[in-house]
Structure 1
Amino acid sequence: MRIYLPATWPMLARTVSTGSFEPLGGTAFALTPKLRESYVAGDDEELEYAAMSEAARASLRLLAVEFGLGETGTPARRVVVAADTDDVTLRPDLDDGAVRLTGPVPVAKIAAVHVDLPEAEHAVREAAAAVDKADLGDLDAEFLVGEAEDHELAWYAPSELAFLVELGS
Structure 2
Amino acid sequence: MRVYLPCTLAALAEVVAAGELGPAPLTGFAVTPALVEWYASGDTEELEYVALTEAARASLRMLAADRADGVEVAARRVVVAADMPDSAVTAGVDLEERARVRLLKSVPIAELASVHVDDPAAVPDVEAAVAAIAAADRGDDDARFVVDGAEDHELMWYATQEIPDLLGRR
TM-score under structure 1 length normalisation = 0.94
Deviations for 1:9-52, whole angstroms, at most 9, x for unmatched residues? Answer: 11100111111112685100000000111113110000000000
Deviations for 1:34-73, whole angstroms, at most 9, x for unmatched residues? Answer: 011111311000000000000000000000001111222x
Unaligned runs of 5+ in 1: none
- Deviating above 4 A after TM superposition, structure 1's stretches of 4 or more consecutive aligned residues are none
- Is 2:90 aligned against 1:92? no
Q: Which secondary structure state, in structure 2, belongs to the residue aligned with residue 89 of structure 1?
A: strand
Report which stretch shifted further, 7-16 or 93-102. Answer: 93-102
Aligned twin of 2:145: 143
8 Å Cα contact 1:89/1:99 also seen in 2:
yes
Report which stretch shifted further, 19-28 or 31-40. Answer: 19-28
CA-atom RMSD in angstroms: 1.4
Change (3 A) 1:133 1:25: farther
Q: CA deviation at 1:103?
A: 2.4
**What CA distance in whole angstroms lies between the structure 1 residues aligned with 2:60 and 2:25?**
16
Aligned twin of 2:76: 77
- Is 2:82 aligned against 1:67? no
Q: Which secondary structure state, in structure 2, belongs to the residue aligned with residue 81 of structure 1?
A: strand
- Percentage of pairs with the same residue: 51
Q: Which secondary structure state, in structure 1, belongs to the residue aligned with residue 4 of structure 2?
A: strand
Aligned twin of 2:126: 124
Change (3 A) 1:127 1:78: same
Q: How many residue pairs end up in the alignment?
A: 167
TM-score under structure 2 length normalisation = 0.93
1:110 to 102, 109, 112: 112
Change (3 A) 1:99 1:44: same
Amino acid at match of 2:19: G
- Is 2:11 aligned against 1:15? no
8 Å Cα contact 1:7/1:23 also seen in 2:
no
Q: CA deviation at 1:90?
A: 1.1
Aligned twin of 2:135: 133
